[in-house]
Amino acid sequence: MRIATWNVNSVRQRLDHLLRYLREAAPDVLCLQEIKCLDEAFPRAEIEAAGYNVETHGQKTFNGVAILSRRPMQIARGLPGDERDEQARYIEAVIDDGAGGALRVASIYAPNGNPVGTEKFAYKLAFLERLIAHARELLALEERFVLAGDYNIIPTPLDAKRPQDWTGDALFQPESVAAFRALSNLGLVDALRALRPEAGLYTFWDYQAGAWQKDNGIRIDHLMLSPEAADRLSDAAVDRHVRGWDKPSDHIPVRIDLA
DNA sequence: ATGGCGGTGGAGCACCGA
């Protein structure tokens, strides 16, 4: 079963890329972030025509997440822990795997959090605390699950071409890195790193200053696996070439295969 | 390099992203 995650930076601007990627990578499940539209504006028909069920948790202008799946889904919207949080950053599906089992998959768009020292950074840390608490709840079920998405965290210096440039940034603050490590310490497995320890694996390149041309990238999109899912991990990869397409998102897809 | 690009809303340019 192939699961991928991709921050598309507006699904309406990226529809051609999205359909191309579905054909090319043929994921069973694709988690999307930053769809940047309301549910009713999502290009549902085109994606259903490509053979996918569509579930969205949209918002006007900003944020918004979705899950596309070949198989039907049972859906929950919103990250538990704060009834007043109105930002559309979390959607979770339980998907029948067709072999008598089920896989839970979440599409997550964690806050950026810049600038550090503001309410935005406090919101980022609070969101990550809620994510950790939710992960703890899910782990108690002892089931297969994947928490996939744009975490807006650079986990280690190996995950940036120029880590020294990010020391003052919310993506690489000690508190942000500690939150990622806390998820790891709960027993969640960073799927890409589990199979690919090498340097130079990035998922985001800024549009500015020729970051892509200089390969000045960072790795901030992650698939975190429960132990039961990690036991079945057979492949993991970044689809780097997608950043070279015409009018690309600033993020690329990351995908895994579970046996 | 507290902003070089790109998306959104809405018809200017401010706000947001990372």
User: What CATH number is given to the structural domain containing A201?
Assistant: 3.60.10.10
Overall average pLDDT of the A22-51 stretch:
97
State the catalytic residue, choosing from A21, A52, A90, A109.
A109
Report if residue A258 sits inside a domain.
no
Report if residue A256 sits inside a domain.
no
Nearest to A7 by CA among A113, A149, A110: A149
Report if residue A257 sits inside a domain.
no
Residue A230 backbone phi and psi in degrees, to 5: -60, -30
Q: Measured between alpha carbons, how far is A180 from A115 in angstroms, rounded to an integer?
A: 19
Name the CA dihedral angle for A259, A254, A225, A152, rounded to a multiple of 10 degrees: 180
Q: Which residue is nearest to nucleotide B9 (CA to C1')?
A: A61
Report if residue A254 sits inside a domain.
no
Q: Is the pLDDT of residue A165 over 90?
A: yes
Question: Strands A2-7 and A53-57, how do they pair?
Answer: unpaired
Burial A177-216 (b: 16+ CB within 10 A, else e): bebbebbeeeebbbbbbeeeeeeebbbbbeeeeebbeeeb
Overall average pLDDT of the A74-85 stretch:
96
Report if residue A24 sits inside a domain.
yes
Query: What is the rounded average pLDDT for all residues in chain A?
Result: 97
For chain A residues 201-230, those near strand B by a CB cutoff of 7 A are: 204, 206-210, 218, 220
Asked whether residue A12, judged by its CB, lies under 7 Å from any atom of the DNA or RNA strand B, the reply is: yes
- Whether the CB-CB separation of A55 and A67 falls below 8 Å is answered with yes
Report if residue A173 sits inside a domain.
yes
Domain count along chain A: 1
Asked whether residue A23, judged by its CB, lies under 7 Å from any atom of the DNA or RNA strand B, the reply is: no
pLDDT of residue A100: 87
CA of A181 to C1' of B13 (A): 40
Name the CA dihedral angle for A224, A227, A230, A231, rounded to a multiple of 10 degrees: 180
Q: What percent of chain A has pLDDT over 70?
A: 100
Overall average pLDDT of the A38-46 stretch:
96
Cα angle A163, A168, A172 (rounded to 5 degrees) comes to 55
Overall average pLDDT of the A239-248 stretch:
97
Overall average pLDDT of the A209-234 stretch:
97
**pLDDT band of A107, cuts 50, 70, 90:** very high
pLDDT of residue A99: 85
Report if residue A15 sits inside a domain.
yes
Asked whether residue A250, judged by its CB, lies under 7 Å from any atom of the DNA or RNA strand B, the reply is: yes
For residue A109, indicate whether it is catalytic.
yes
Strand B nucleotides within a 7 Å radius of protein CB atoms? 1, 3-9, 16-18
Q: Measured between alpha carbons, how far is A155 from A161 in angstroms, rounded to an integer?
A: 13
Ranges assigned E (strand) in chain A: 2-7, 29-33, 53-57, 65-69, 73-77, 90-96, 102-109, 145-150, 189-190, 204-205, 217-218, 221-225, 233-238, 254-258
Q: Measured between alpha carbons, how far is A216 from A81 in angstroms, rounded to an integer?
A: 36
Q: Measured between alpha carbons, how far is A210 from A229 in angstroms, rounded to an integer?
A: 38
- Whether the CB-CB separation of A65 and A107 falls below 8 Å is answered with yes
- Whether the CB-CB separation of A31 and A253 falls below 8 Å is answered with no
- SS3 of A228, please? helix
Report if residue A152 sits inside a domain.
yes
For chain A residues 57-86, those near strand B by a CB cutoff of 7 A are: 60-62
**pLDDT band of A98, cuts 50, 70, 90:** confident
Q: What is the pLDDT of residues A8-33, one digit of tens each?
A: 999 999 999 999 999 999 999 999 99
Alpha-helical runs (H) found in chain A:
15-25, 44-49, 119-139, 174-186, 191-195, 227-230
Domain boundaries, position A103? 2-248
Q: Is the pLDDT of residue A198 over 90?
A: yes
Q: What percent of chain A has pLDDT over 90?
A: 98
Overall average pLDDT of the A93-120 stretch:
95
Cα angle A128, A129, A130 (rounded to 5 degrees) comes to 90
Q: Is the pLDDT of residue A51 over 90?
A: yes
